[in-house]
Structure 1
Amino acid sequence: MKILTKITIGLAAASLLLVGCNGSKTQTATDSQAHVKPIIDESHLGYRGTTDLLKEDVIPPAVAYGSAAPGTSKKIARAYQDAPPMIPHDTTGMLPITQDNNQCLMCHMPDMAASMGATPIPVSHFTNFRPKTTVKGDEILKNGKVIVNTSSETLKNVSINVDKSEQHLYAGRFNCTQCHAPQAINTLVDQNSFKPTYTSKDGAHKSSWNQSKWLKDINTDK
């Protein structure tokens, strides 16, 4: 009888202990959940200004670009070192650019840029970095000479065609807006907090791309 009583008392004590522990955990979880607040709701998931993300007839804000005339605008800092510069001025009537109609050249050719207050086109845009390559049977020819299938830049018979007088833009560079684009002036829904670290002192407005073995005698830092 005494043994049975002890067992009963022991089970009762264990039950109370378990209930106390579970109650404590439940209370802690409840308190924790009470302090959790939503950081982002649906209205922040897009720039259409609606919480109905599946609605199809919502018209997004119109994209607006700078209207400053060429020569009167302020240069836009590059997003990162050697990034293609953004176009800071109005491009109305200048697009689309074609090989036969490129109004960018009127101000940005090196011999005109200084007097127009424009950024001059760099020598890299007057350079063909693609030696003429053909295949004859099982052989690869560059500039008409057979070469080993390698990308080594020490090959003496692989030449790069450079217009050192900077008179003729390389045909592969005619479409300026393929890399350079106007900058929208809309207010961002989510602000950009990226801060570039430039590798050169004037990296915000100038390229740091310099010579390599390919360009041993070419000043590309202009």
Structure 2
Amino acid sequence: MNIKKFALASLAVAGLIFLGCKAGQSYGENEIGLRKSTLFNEDAKIERIDYSGKAAGESELIERAFENAPPMISHNVEDMLPITKENNSCTSCHLPGVAEAVAATPMPKSHFYNFRDNVDMKENMDETRFNCVICHATQVSATPLVENKFTPDFRKENGNIKSNLLDVINEGVN
């Protein structure tokens, strides 16, 4: 009796899988990727994006995509790479003590806080924050690959340009 039920259930599942695969819209190999060409051709042309940008202080900032999103890098970073613990050009302008004097965006308090050990590092940047380009992307003017209908909802008036991550990280946690 159990074998009959198992066989019937297996047949039903197989039928649903078969019908599910056939009922949905299918896509060809030229429609799956963002390149709009076959995925099997590595020589396919991709739109070339120029990441060089303008020099620091010359470009217009793009607002944050959502509350506490890492801001985009608004200037050329080619001469600043690679970023290492020993060689980080970003900090020469973006450390809070320097940023105002050079009209740069200061690094937020969250970069001076060790979340693993729950320690305020005061004026010392957390050593896990040295590689800026892991979170901060260089802004470019490129044609979007897909339409974006997302509309951010900022809780504070200046949330589109300022982070308050350290203030809200434990919000609602007891």
Structure 1 and Structure 2 fold alike (TM over 0.5): yes
Q: Could you say which structure has the higher strand fraction?
A: 1
Q: Distance in 2 between matches of 1:98 and 1:162?
A: 22
Q: Secondary structure at the match of 1:115?
A: coil
Residue 175 of structure 1 corresponds to 131
Q: CA deviation at 1:109?
A: 0.7
Instruction: Write the mapping of 1:127-138 to structure 2, written as runs, cut at 5 A.
Output: 127-131=113-117
* Contact 1:67–1:90 under 8 Å retained in 2: yes
Q: Distance in 2 between matches of 1:65 and 1:179?
A: 16
Residue 3 of structure 2 corresponds to none
Amino acid at match of 1:112: V
Instruction: Write the mapping of 1:52-67 to structure 2, written as runs, cut at 5 A.
Output: 52-65=38-51, 67=53
Structure 1 residues 128 and 42 mapped into 2: Cα distance closer, same or farther (>3 Å)? closer
Structure 1 residues 195 and 213 mapped into 2: Cα distance closer, same or farther (>3 Å)? closer
TM-score of the aligned structures, taking structure 1 as reference length? 0.57
Unmatched 5+ residue regions in structure 2?
A: 1-26
Residue 18 of structure 2 corresponds to none
1:203 and 2:156 aligned? no
1:82 and 2:44 aligned? no
Instruction: Write the mapping of 1:1-222 to structure 2, written as runs, cut at 5 A.
Output: 45-50=32-37, 52-65=38-51, 67-131=53-117, 160-164=118-122, 166=123, 168-209=124-165, 211=167
Q: CA deviation at 1:209?
A: 2.8
Unmatched 5+ residue regions in structure 1?
A: 1-39, 132-159, 215-222
State percent identity of aligned pairs: 40
Q: Distance in 2 between matches of 1:176 and 1:62?
A: 23
Residue-pair matches, total: 145
Q: Distance in 2 between matches of 1:109 and 1:81?
A: 21
Q: Secondary structure at the match of 1:93?
A: helix
* Contact 2:51–2:140 under 8 Å retained in 1: yes
Q: CA deviation at 1:175?
A: 1.2
Q: Secondary structure at the match of 1:107?
A: helix
Q: CA deviation at 1:70?
A: 0.6
Q: Distance in 1 between matches of 2:62 and 2:168?
A: 28
Amino acid at match of 1:208: N
Residue 136 of structure 1 corresponds to none
TM-score of the aligned structures, taking structure 2 as reference length? 0.71
Q: CA deviation at 1:63?
A: 2.1
* Contact 1:66–1:185 under 8 Å retained in 2: no
Q: Distance in 2 between matches of 1:190 and 1:161?
A: 41
Q: CA deviation at 1:198?
A: 1.3
